[in-house]
Each structure stands twice: as C-alpha cells, then as structure tokens.
Structure 1
C-alpha cells in the first residue's frame, strides 16, 4: 500500500513540475516527454489535488488560471475517466452535460455560419444575426451560476477549493468577452477583423471550459458529493435557471429523503422575544422576505449565516451558500474588495460602505453595514441590495391611495 501512495505522490510531483515548466515558458511539445511518464491512471481527483497543492505552496489562483488553456491542452485525451457512473435523466450533472451539448450545437449551427456570413459581408442583417446569437449565448451565465452557486460550495466543504476558484475566474473571463462582443456589434465601426478574432476567442474559451467541466469537474463532483447533497442541488437549480434547454425529465430519486426539512426549522412554531416585541419565527421570516431588497448576513468569522428570499432577488442565492466562507462566494478577481470591506468593519475604521451599478433597466444600490453589539463588538456584516430605479424616477407628490 505504501508503494502505491509513494507512486501517487511521485506522479503528482511530476505533474506539478509540468505545470511549473509551462508557467516558466516551455511549450507543450517541450514537456510532453515528462508528462508521458505521469499520465497513466491520472484521475480528476489527482489533478484537483495537484492544483490544491500548488495553491498551498503559494502559486496565486490567477497564475493557475493563466495556465488553464495550456493545462487543458496537455491533459486533453489523457485523463482516464474511471469515475463515470451511469447518467440518469434529470440528475444535475446530466442536465449540465445536456446544456454543454446544446451550447456546442448552437455554436456549430448558428454562430459559426453567421460569423462566416459577417466576414464575407458586414451588413446590418449579418450584424443583427450575431447580436441575436450572442444574446442567446449569454444564457451560458445560468449554467455557470448553477455550477458556482450550487456545486462549488459542496466541493469546498470537502476542502476542494483550487479547481472551483480557477474555473470561476475563467467563467468570468468568458462573461466579460461576451459583453465586449455585444458592445462591439451594437457600436460596430467597421472593425471586422477585431470582432472576428474576439468571437473566435470566446468560442475557444467556452469549448475549453466544456472540456474542463466534462473531464475534471463533473467526475470529481460525482465521486465526492453524497446523494443528499445532489438532492439539495437539484431542488435549488430551478431558482437560477438553465442555459438553452430546460430539463424535460424529473430526476427519479433512488429514495425519498423522509426527514427532509420538516422541515429543518429549529424554531418551528417558536417565538423570539425582542426589546420591542415578540414575533413568531414564521412572522420574522415573512417580514424579512417582504422588505423590498436582498439581505445577506455574514457572521464575525466571514461565514454566510442567512439570506432573505425576496421574489425579485437581484443576485442569485441558493441554500448551498449557507455555511460557506464569503470569500468563496465571489469571483477571485473581486475577493480583495470583500476582504478590504470586512477588515475595515472589523477594525472599526468604517461602519458602512455603498456601491451603485447599472444592470440593464436596473439601477442597483449595494450597501454593506457593520453589525455590532451594545459594546461595539463586531458581530458580522449585513449586505442589502435594492433596485432604486423606481425611487429615482419619483417626481412631485403622491397623497392619494392607488386604485
């Protein structure tokens, strides 16, 4: 047994060396021989362990992300997918794979032909066809959001953090590319070659991400998560939505989770006494959900403890986020902002911080408040997000009831 462990450790060291050499500037061709010594029997979990170790040794997530395309090219065709259970219609992974098939089919049958026509003749019709294509392809955001908000939190509970962070960073790169393409097409200035290059780059990134999901993330998740966890993921998937397709089959569970949430309410039918009154847990829940905005509370240890369920929620939240480190709830590129806010709150330098952004027709105000006890001790942070466009549009006065 110790011999097997030593072999595994040796193989992982070779894989780490390959990544480092690629980072140092060597080409795929130059490292192929060394890689050939290590590929036999490589599983997704070993690649995960390798990336995890590199992060622990100090290689920034951004560096691993920069290597991602080359990294995928090296592993392509070499990963032995030995953890491939039978696909079950309706299972979250089955649906994610079907979405990937639909995305690839849409690229092949719509985007590529429309791009060819645009290259031959960049008239208004061909530009509008590409705009429609990119608008529909933006559905991929739902695919990535389910992955980031439902699967990643459970992987983190098993200390698998490096692959999710790397993938989330690339997901955001793809989102940014699609936004740039849409703007370039809407404000087209004859820069045909630039548009062509950017669309082809986006397609390449999307196809590489499909490969990484199919060969690394999905097998790793299937061999790690429990059935109860897959049930939670399945139950919350509808809230975020699906990309290009909708599941046409419900997942026929192997068993019914009888004690499921009886609902997991520790204060069911209980009351909470406040300084200014008494409310039942049901009343508290409904009051918080009736407030016109999204609330999320993070405790003093940066753990997400609660979020409200306003029906018009602006940013997606799923129950999988509860118990998750808030740093892991944000893309790698924005974690430093989160850290700065929390450090300012904990030190007492600030008590609140506000941001406002435009999102289509929405004008979103995002507010952060330091929550402290009567002695000024930091208890956590409250995030409150609200669409203030209707408020900004108010004029004059309203003194009569609406009819």
Structure 2
C-alpha cells in the first residue's frame, strides 16, 4: 500500500480516537471503523498513537491510556489471528508469554472458586475455614508472579520497540501496568486483613478489591494478545527475539518454567544451498530480500554483519530505507560500522594513566567487576552506556541487561517516575546538585542504598551520571571494631582513631 494511502488510514484512526477523547460513545465510532478497515495493521495503530502523543492535539499518554480499552475492543476483530509460525515454537519468547497468560488466568479461576466458598460460609454465618484461607494466601502468592511477566515486557520488549520508533505503546502500557500493580497491592492488603482478623475485614471486602484488580488484569491480557504481540511480530527481527530469549531468565517467569530452549533455524554465511549458490552472503538471512546490501554508517555493526558470527541485537536493517517510521534509531557513534573498521582494537594489556597511577584496560575492567556495587553510567547524551557485572544475577537489586545499552534514560523508567528522574539528571548536569541518594527496605530483607553523582572532566565539561547501588543491610550490624590489618601500600601504620 502506498505511503499516502497508509497515512490516510492512520489519519482516520486518529480521528476516531480523538472523537472518543472528546466524548463520543464507542457505538458511534464502531460503524465508521468497520466501514474503513477490514484488516487493521498494528503498525498503523502504533504510528497513530505516536502522532497523538507527540502532535499538537492536546492529547498526552494519560489520555491515550484512557482510550486504550475502547481502542482494544474496537480493534479486536481486526488483529486476532495474526501469527508468525516461529512464535508458536516452544521456548520462543512469544510462546512463553502466552503460556504465562494461560497459567495466570487459571490462577484467577482458582482464586475465584476459593472466594466463592468463603463467601458462602460467611453468608451462612459459619466460621471461615483456616485451610481455605491458607490456600487463598498461597494462590495470591502464585498470582503475584505476574510481576515477572510485566518486568520482562517492560525491560526487554519495550526498549526494542522504542529503537524502532514506537515509543507511545510502551508508555501507555507501562502506565496501565502500574495501575494494575497498585490494584493487586490493595487486594493483598484486604486478604491479609481477613487472615489476621483485623478490624472490620470481611470476605466482601476481599472480593471487591480482587474483582477490581481482575477486571483490569484481564483487559491487559487481551491487549497483550490482541495488540502488543501482533505489533511485536510485525517489528522484531529474529535477532531481536534471540536477544530477548537470552536475557529473559534474569527476570524470571510467571508460574510456568520453560524447559526447552528456542533454537531458530539460521542461514549460515557462506553455506551452499541445494543449487550450489551461496546463502546469506553479505547480509544476515533476514535482510537478503530487503534490497541492496548497503547500510548506513549509523547502523549497528551486528545488524549488517553476516550469519552465525553476528551477535543478537535490538535492531534490524529491514525496511529502514523505505519506512523511516519503523526503522531503528541510530546507536551511539562508538558502535558505528565506520568506527569498527577504522579504529584498531586497543591493547588490553597496555598501561594507561588512570587516577593516581596506571592500569591496563583489562585491569580496569576487572576492578570495576570486582567492586561490591551495581554501577550504571548514563552518558552526556542521556544514553544508558555501561553497567558492571560484579553482582551475581540472582543477587542484583536492579537487574540490567545488554539489550538496554544505547537506550535513552527517559525510556528506562515508568511514566510515574519519569519527571523525577529527568529533573534529577538536569540538576546534576547543571550542578544544582552534586549528588543525590535514596534508600529503602525491600521485602526480601535487603536495604538498598542508591547514589547518583554528576560526572565532569578536567575542563569541567559534563560527561554523564554515575549511579551505584548496594545492599547496606550487612553494614548496619557489623558488631565490635575489627582492626589490625595493614594498608595495601605497606607502610605498616595502623589505622588511627
């Protein structure tokens, strides 16, 4: 379809949602929708939302979020059934995502049955069965694993969507996710009150808070299945899905535990086909039919390198020339093809001046990865550029994944905290603050202490923000003084009071 025709369809979709925004009923727009669209592309919907949020219509992501449920219902017939066969293979991130939704819905049914039994007992004046209450508490704990499902979506799916220029859907969906988290928090508090027999706690109150959560939770499942997944399958390359599959275990899974690794069929560079032709020469297999084998110097090296040696990346060269709206955003110049071909690799063993002495790159990297902190660096362009790997995955306070490197910091935070984060960065950048710290207790007993520092060079030029995070719970109960160790420089003098 020509771009002009596509733009017209996007405009019609935009007008429909604007009418809803200004008070039109869903029934009044549904007929127009059906008249103009027999099959709706998720790409077009995403572009429309992007225009709504970034145009001068007076519509922000909060407004689009209010329209999201209506939007999903209107779209339902148009987007269901669109699948890519690869995504149906066991272990594929989409397969896992859908299996989790099935398991979570089964959990909803189990909880509802237990609540119905408790409601019947209460209405008949019977004492509540402690066994039912224990079972209900256990089912709530299992259902709480939906947090892992949401975290993977927000931390792995959303960054890649944004790299292709689709930043509106993540903002909208993350905002709704936070609302659902809040509703489940209220539901858990109500259940705890009933179990502890606190105040005027009742089964009716537990039911009310649970049903408020369930309504929004089921709506989100529908939006994931009918809107989000088709959009992702339209956008993401095989390498994108491989990157997600690689990073997913760091965030965990909801209720189910996949036991099979997804291994896609890959065309190897230089391998001969049945007729003796070279397969995938010059480009990855996905890009062979995308036109000439040229790529911009801004493109990530791994997006244009051949076959099996290419690392999974959160981008693709597909359609980048013909459709700018769906092409990945440019990565930092240090990742460019031009840099990789003109700059020789530094000697990792060569001594370089660092601080008050000298270190090789190898030593500096090892030192950073032996510090007992989680370190993150945001560069002067507000891009997420570095994190160390000294803390084991299962012990991290804030998991970081390679696919987030190169992402703008404003895309790394949920909408509710974005203003606070950007204000802090701006204050550090302009030296209104030199540093900032926060601390909070976690439910697992750890005590997170987080510090942000503005980084400046010798010419007082702003270079970025350093964040370091550590668990200070062990430091709060160190016990008696421990002395007697000499400093490493070996002067033998004991530490003074």
> Quick check: TM above 0.5?
yes
Aligned equivalent of 1:183 = 189
1:53–1:336 distance in 2 versus 1, CA, 3 Å:
same
Shift of residue 99, structure 1, vs aligned partner: 1.2
Q: Deviations over 1:28-50 (max 9, x none)?
A: 22322222223312011111111
Q: Does 1:297 align with 2:377?
A: yes
Q: Does 1:339 align with 2:339?
A: no
Higher helix fraction: Structure 1 or Structure 2? 1
Give SS of 1:78's match.
helix
Aligned equivalent of 2:294 = none
Higher-Rg structure is: 2
Give the 5 Å matches for 1:99-110: 99-108=100-109, 110=110
Give the unaligned 5+ runs of structure 2.
123-127, 195-199, 269-306, 313-334, 486-497
State the TM-score, normalized to the length of structure 2.
0.74
Give me the whole-angstrom Cα distance separating, in 2, the residues matched to 1:115 and 1:399.
59
Aligned equivalent of 1:70 = 70
CA contact (8 A) 1:155 1:224 kept: yes
312, 319, 340: which is aligned to 2:402? 319
Give the 5 Å matches for 1:64-213: 64-79=64-79, 81-82=81-82, 84-86=84-86, 87-108=88-109, 110-121=110-121, 123=128, 124-188=130-194, 189-213=200-224
Shift of residue 79, structure 1, vs aligned partner: 2.3
Give me the whole-angstrom Cα distance separating, in 2, the residues matched to 1:147 and 1:243.
12
Q: Deviations over 1:53-85 (max 9, x none)?
A: 111115211221122222222222332544533
Number of aligned residue pairs: give it: 397
| More displaced 10-residue stretch of structure 1: 139-148 or 124-133 | 124-133
Q: Does 1:388 align with 2:472?
A: yes
CA contact (8 A) 2:10 2:48 kept: yes
Give me the whole-angstrom Cα distance separating, in 1, the residues matched to 2:61 and 2:396.
30
1:338–1:106 distance in 2 versus 1, CA, 3 Å:
same
Q: Does 1:225 align with 2:236?
A: yes
Aligned equivalent of 1:287 = 367
Give SS of 1:77's match.
helix
1:268–1:97 distance in 2 versus 1, CA, 3 Å:
farther
Give the root-mean-square deviation of aligned CA atoms. Answer: 2.4
Structure with larger RCO (C-alpha < 8 A, sep 6+) = 1
1:272–1:45 distance in 2 versus 1, CA, 3 Å:
farther
Give me the whole-angstrom Cα distance separating, in 1, the residues matched to 2:477 and 2:192.
27
Give SS of 2:15's match.
helix
Give me the whole-angstrom Cα distance separating, in 2, the residues matched to 1:26 and 1:193.
35
1:268–1:130 distance in 2 versus 1, CA, 3 Å:
farther
| More displaced 10-residue stretch of structure 1: 94-103 or 273-282 | 273-282
CA contact (8 A) 1:43 1:80 kept: no
1:238–1:216 distance in 2 versus 1, CA, 3 Å:
same
CA contact (8 A) 1:271 1:281 kept: yes
Shift of residue 354, structure 1, vs aligned partner: 1.1
1:69–1:267 distance in 2 versus 1, CA, 3 Å:
farther
1:22–1:231 distance in 2 versus 1, CA, 3 Å:
same
Q: Deviations over 1:215-270 (max 9, x none)?
A: 222122122122222221111111111111111211122127632569x9965744
Shift of residue 343, structure 1, vs aligned partner: 1.0
1:186–1:250 distance in 2 versus 1, CA, 3 Å:
same
Give me the whole-angstrom Cα distance separating, in 1, the residues matched to 2:92 and 2:82.
19
CA contact (8 A) 1:293 1:313 kept: no
1:121–1:283 distance in 2 versus 1, CA, 3 Å:
farther
308, 326, 333: which is aligned to 2:388? 308
Aligned equivalent of 1:370 = 454
Give me the whole-angstrom Cα distance separating, in 2, the residues matched to 1:147 and 1:169.
13
| More displaced 10-residue stretch of structure 1: 238-247 or 170-179 | 170-179
CA contact (8 A) 1:14 1:34 kept: no
Give me the whole-angstrom Cα distance separating, in 1, the residues matched to 2:59 and 2:43.
19
Q: Does 1:254 align with 2:337?
A: no
CA contact (8 A) 2:190 2:209 kept: no
Shift of residue 271, structure 1, vs aligned partner: 4.1
Shift of residue 94, structure 1, vs aligned partner: 1.4
Give SS of 1:315's match.
coil
CA contact (8 A) 1:83 1:223 kept: no
Give me the whole-angstrom Cα distance separating, in 1, the residues matched to 2:484 and 2:215.
58
Shift of residue 399, structure 1, vs aligned partner: 4.2
Aligned equivalent of 1:46 = 44
